[in-house]
Amino acid sequence: MPHPAPTSARTIPARPDWALFLDVDGTLLPIAETPDGVARSDDLCHILARLVPALDGALALISGRTIANLDRLFAPLTLCAAGLHGLERRGADGRLHLLGEAAALDHLRAPLAALAAEDPGLILEDKGRALAVHYRQAPGLAARVKDRIAGLVAGSRDELRLIHGKMVVEIKPRHADKGSAVQAFMAEPPFAGRTAVFIGDDVTDEDGFRAVNAMDGLSIYVGADQVGRGQVGLAERTVARYQLSQVEQVWRWLEATADALDALREGPTP
């Protein structure tokens, strides 16, 4: 049963009781040819720096990147964050929560390196607790990459999860996902008791959408088309209830949200 198509998020009125959860690649920043090719933006950092106090600190990044990578990308900001699809999580108190072990993927490192070495357009990204093979520079190899990786993890399906993202296949332990990361944040201050808002663009964000939908929050998909076209089948639709068309529109929406929250805090002009 397909889900209803999402409606535009541009008309959602901003509320000071939101808990805002933001994917990074494809949501806050355009996807680059390589993982290291993503460039930070001072304008975006300024918007996020305004939103943190406006939401009393209830803002977190939810990403497939490591938290250390997120800190470098958004410096000088140090935000609440979940990295590696929830295998790493840093709360408002600064404590780091880790799930899974890098050693669980040791048997895959050599064969994945051999796969990536077969073509210069393939990139193996070793994140420690997760491994990703990117084929954005070699889209014609998509079927080969997916088939080979599926074969490599066939005997470990109970312990490992395959994630088919945008031009990438990622392997991670089945200990967490973006939805469980959102749930963990929502169980602690300053997120607890607020309305969860999750914005993401990829199949990996569907767990986050489901989690906030179950909380009666706001799930916002970023993209001009339905999520998963060419990845999980044309009949599949995102479970997100709202939609923004592209990264630039996310920036405008976040800035408008910051403006509205600042106005609410200042009160009516005498």
- Based on the residue annotation, tell me whether 23 is a catalytic residue of this protein: yes
170, 64 in Cβ contact below 8 A? yes
Question: What is the rounded CA–CA span in Å between residue 166 and residue 174?
Answer: 20
Q: Which residue has the tokens 């806050």?
A: 28
Structure tokens at 119: 């073509």
* Bridge partners, 90 (sequence order): 81, 96
Report how far apart, in Å, the C-alpha atoms of 161 and of each of 104, 147, 175, 205 are.
Answer: 12, 15, 9, 14
Sheet holding 7-8, edge to edge: 7-8, 242-244, 218-222, 195-200, 18-22, 59-62, 80-83, 88-90, 96-98
Please state, as a whole number, how many other Cβ atoms lie within 10 Å of the Cβ of residue 215: 17
Structure tokens at 142: 């998509």
Please state, as a whole number, how many other Cβ atoms lie within 10 Å of the Cβ of residue 228: 19
Catalytic residue, chosen from 23, 25, 202, 207, is 23
119, 151 in Cβ contact below 8 A? no
Q: Annotated catalytic sites, by residue?
A: 23
